[in-house]
Amino acid sequence: MNKESPEIKRENLRRNELNRSSSSIRGSNLADLVGSFSWKATLLLLLIVIIGFVIFKFFL
C-alpha cells in the first residue's frame, strides 16, 4: 500500500506532467502547423495547395 500524502501525490503528478512533452511542441498535426502561422501565411499555404492540385489535375 502506498503511504504518500495527497500533497506528495499531487506534486509527483505535476512533475510527471511537466516531463511529458505535449503534441503542440512537436507540431504533430496540421492544426498545430497552421496555428503557428499568421493569417497571411495560412492563406498563402492554402493557395499553393489549391493551385498545385489544379495543375496536377490539369496535366495528369
How many domains are contained in the chain? Answer: 1
Model confidence over 2-60: pLDDT tens digits? Answer: 677 889 899 988 888 777 756 555 546 667 667 777 888 889 989 999 999 999 999 88
pTM above 0.75, yes or no: no
Residue 46 located in a structural domain: yes
pLDDT value for 26 = 56
Residue 35 located in a structural domain: yes
How confident is residue 1, by pLDDT bands cut at 50, 70 and 90? low
Residue 53 located in a structural domain: yes
pLDDT value for 42 = 86
CA angle 59, 45, 22 (to 5 degrees): 130
pLDDT value for 19 = 75
Residue 31 located in a structural domain: yes
